[in-house]
Amino acid sequence: MTKSNFRSFAATMEDLARDIVDACRRAVRTIAAMPWPAMLACCIALAFVISILPLALFLFVLFMGLKVIVGAFVVDHRRTNREQFGEHYGKQ
C-alpha cells in the first residue's frame, strides 16, 4: 500500500470515527432531553429491535432450511416411486 493510499484510508477511517462519535453524542443528548414516557417507549422499541427481530429472522431462516431439506427428500421419494412403477404413476 503506498503512502498516499494509506493516508486516504486513514483519513476515511478518521471521518468514519468522527461521524460515529457525533451520532452517539447526538443520541445521548436526545435521550437526556426525553420525558420519561417517551424514554420508556424508546427502550421498549430498542429491546424489540435488539432481541425479538433477530430471533424472528433466525427462526425464519431455520424453518426455510428445514423446508428445503424435507422437500428434497419428498421429491427424491416421489422420483424413486415414479421410476419404480413406471411413467404413468400419479398421472390420471
Helix (H, G, I), strand (E, B) or coil at 46: helix
User: Confidence class of residue 91 from pLDDT cuts 50, 70 and 90?
Assistant: low
DSSP state of 52: I
Is the full-model pTM beyond 0.85?
no
Under 8 Å between Cβ of 39 and 31? yes
CA 37/CA 83 separation, integer angstroms: 67
Question: For residue range 10-67, what is the model confidence (pLDDT) as tens digits?
Answer: 899 999 999 999 999 998 898 889 899 988 998 898 888 899 989 999 999 999 999 9
Rounded to an integer, what is the distance from CA 50 to the centroid of its chain? 11
Helix (H, G, I), strand (E, B) or coil at 90: coil
Q: Which of 4-8, 71-75, 79-83 has the highest mean pLDDT?
A: 71-75
Q: How many CB atoms within 10 Å of residue 34?
A: 13
